Chain A
Amino acid sequence: MTARYAARRRNDVIAKSLAFAATVFGLGWLVLILGVLLWKGFSGLSLAVFTQMTPPPGSSGGLLNPIVGSLFLTILAVAIGTPIGVLAGTYMAEYGRYDRLSSVVRFINDILLSAPSIVVGLFIYEVMVAPMGHFSGLAGGVALAVIVIPVVVRTTEDMLTLVPNALREAATSIGLPRSMSITRICYRAARAGMVTGVLLAVARISGETAPLLFTSLNNQFWSTNLNAPMASLPVIIFQFALSPYKDWQSLAWTGALIITLAVLALSITARSLVGSGKQS
């Protein structure tokens, strides 16, 4: 009996230490990746990165055009994706909360949410790039919008569902039409959560590379023409990191650092928004 008890105690201790080791293992990667990124990224960081164009191989330069390109693409994607996502989420939460269409869209949306992003790139290539005959920043923006939509749909629906029905009833009782009670009352009550959704979507697309590879392609020069290929940070990182030139590789690390800091800042902002929303 004591032997068996000892064995059980031993297994318990082994399992607990394994759990502890697994946690250290998991967190270790975060430290390793961020550590290397900060080290290599900061060593290449200078003012020139933000003021100069991408250089030809073998000379120094900056990342101005991909940074601006990424901003353009992100703004475009949010401008296209947010209205569609918010409206679809509104339908699912306000008008058709329990109807068939909503439950189907909910399921489809969940699948879109985790569909491989490279497939989205192929889709936009088929419907935009191939018919137009050339790569364009516009196609890149639309491809990113396809990734923004499901995130926004999901958070809008979730947040509107949390709005208490008493607010809607109060709005109706003073004679507000349904559309106004949604736009003036419910949106206002759910605002923090909906903004969080958009921020999360931006965080997600700012590092997306795969859908841009064959939609907005790349551009070594300054271009703000949405109808022409456009540079973006992730694609530049991809190209520069795989090149044999030291200058390019160092710029790739700096670009990676910029993206990561942006993504982390966005997720922390989103997190604190949700946090403050809960307290009030």
Chain B
Amino acid sequence: MDPARRRSVVDVALQEGAMVSVEAGTRARVLDRLRLGDLAFRHLTRAAAVGVLLLLTGVIISLVAGSLPAFRTFGFEFLTTERWNPVTEKFGALAPIYGTLITSFIAMAIAVPVGLMIAFFLTELCPAWLRRPIGIAIELLAGIPSIIYGIWGLFVFAPFLQETLQPFLINTLGNVPVIAPLFSGPPYGIGMLTAGLILTIMVLPFVTSISRDVFDAVPAVLKEAAYGVGCTTWEVVRYVVLPYARVGVIGGVMLGLGRALGETMAVTFVIGNAHRISASLLAPGTTISATIANEFTEAVGDLYTSALIALGLILFVITLIVLAAARYLLLRIDRRIG
């Protein structure tokens, strides 16, 4: 479609004189071409949209196909055994699954209350001029690539924990009955706790920014009414804002959880990559993503590769469930606001 032709169509609509000069045959041809181009563009965009759909389908199919050998060999036992022996080709996914869940749990247990408190500060206490800078700073924290967290965790954070927090935990909580096994053993520096804390820092911005957005969406009338009957700021947040924003906050927490579960590089640096389930949080462990990142390129033999892909499939299914639940909850919020 060259510019001259295109102009003629517009001319047709604007100037009557042009109609005379353009022959009817040419006009029909041009219009035909435009109609065809229109149809082609429509189908092109539709194909791209379907392509996005196929992308996810492709991911699922390729993961299932790749993990079949492992599941066929080990069956359901793959999910319930701890052994991971590349030499004898005996694989079980329990240790990585355990590590993934525990590190994510530590991350959420700290990031959710802290994130909510930051959102509380940003929406209720913070002077207006300071809100934007703090908001941007928190979002910058979310934008830092995970490998940066990894290298920082390995060289700065892990040695720091080894010298301060971990000996402290061993000496205090390590003597409390019941939870003592969680904090036993030598302070390695790297390990499950360190990975969980790094994840905390990474998930915090997500929880904060979504909580802030849903806190902001609480109608001012509700808060004013609560202040009107004499509530303190904390009581307004605790009994009015939080219940109102509950669904949205849970959605944000699930999104953060999805990120924590799938996070690879930051965890790989500090987890220690040990295929065992230790009672102690201070001991090295492994997660699904760290196992894949560490071992995939070195995996020899189809069964080994397949076992790693099966781990990927398990991770994908877990995050899929969490993310779908999060989207569903946030969608419900959108509908209520909209």
Contact = CB atoms under 8 A, between A and B. Distances in A.
Contacts, number: 275
B121 interface: yes
Contacts of B233: 12, 15-16
A214 B299 CA distance: 11
B269 A179 contact: no
Interface string B104-146: 0000000001110110111011100000001011111101111
A146 B58 CA distance: 11
Contact of A105 (B52, B58, B140, B269): B52
A127 B57 CA distance: 13
Contacts of B235: 8, 11-12
B178 interface: no
Contacts of A23: 117-118, 121-122, 126, 134
B50 A101 contact: yes
Nearest to B46: A91
A110 B232 CA distance: 39
B13 interface: yes
20 contacts: A12-B235, A19-B125, A23-B121, A29-B204, A85-B48, A87-B45, A91-B48, A91-B49, A101-B53, A104-B53, A107-B327, A110-B327, A116-B315, A119-B316, A122-B312, A203-B143, A207-B144, A209-B145, A238-B265, A249-B155
Interface of B: 6, 9-10, 12-14, 34-35, 37-38, 40-42, 44-53, 55-56, 58-59, 62-63, 65-66, 113-115, 117-118, 120-122, 124-126, 134, 136-141, 143-152, 154-156, 201, 204-205, 208, 232-235, 237-238, 255, 258-259, 261-265, 268-269, 289, 292-293, 296-297, 308-309, 312, 315-316, 319-320, 323-324, 327
Interface of A: 8-9, 11-12, 14-16, 18-23, 25-27, 29-30, 32-33, 36-37, 40, 83-88, 90-92, 94-96, 101-102, 104-105, 107-112, 114-120, 122-123, 125-127, 146, 149-150, 153, 174-180, 182-183, 203, 206-210, 213-214, 217, 234, 237-238, 241-242, 249, 252-253, 256, 259-260, 263-264, 267, 271
